[in-house]
Amino acid sequence: MAQGFASALSGGGVESFSAGSRPAGFVSPQAVAVMREAGIDISSQKSKGLSHIPQERYDAIVTMGCGDACPQFAAKRRFDWNIPDPMGGSDEDFRSARETIRRSVLELLKEMGAAPPSD
C-alpha cells in the first residue's frame, strides 16, 4: 500500500520499492480492494523479500515495525512507522492501515519536497 501511495501522491515523482522481511508470497486481495477504493491500483505489485531491493543509497528508508528483521540499507534518513500488519484481519483493519499509511506517506513526501501542492 505504501508503494502505491508513494507513486500516486508524488505524481510519479519518486521511485519507491516495497519488500517484506517475511513476504507472504502474494499481495493480499484485501489490500488490493481497499486501495482500489482509494482510487489506486496495486494489483500488478508482487510480493517480494528484501533481497529483491536494489543495494544502493536511498533518500529514505521506511520500515513498519519489522524489529530485528529490519533492512540495513544505506539511507540519508530512516523512519519506523510501526504500523500493524492487517494481514488476517477484517476489511476495516485494512482500511485503517491504508489511511495510516496514506497520512504517513503524504507527510514524508511533503518533508522531502516531493508532494504536489495542496489545493
What would the mean pLDDT of 29-55 be, rounded to a whole number?
94
CATH number of the domain enclosing 104: 3.40.50.2300
Q: Is residue 61 part of a domain?
A: no
Higher pLDDT: 1 or 71? It is 1
Side chain identity, residue 48? K
**Per-residue model confidence as pLDDT tens digits over 70-113:** 767 889 998 989 898 899 999 999 999 999 999 999 999 999 98
* Cell numbers linked to 54: 536494489
Identify the bridge partners of residue 58 per DSSP, sorted by sequence position: 75
Strands 58-63 and 75-80: parallel
The count of structural domains within the chain is 1
Q: Is residue 9 part of a domain?
A: yes
pLDDT of residue 65: 75
Class of residue 39 by CB neighbours under 10 A (exposed 0-12, middle 13-18, buried 19+): exposed
* Dmax (CA) of the chain: 40
Confidence of residue 117 (pLDDT cuts 50, 70, 90): low
The domain in which residue 92 lies consists of: 2-52+87-111
Its pTM stands at 0.88
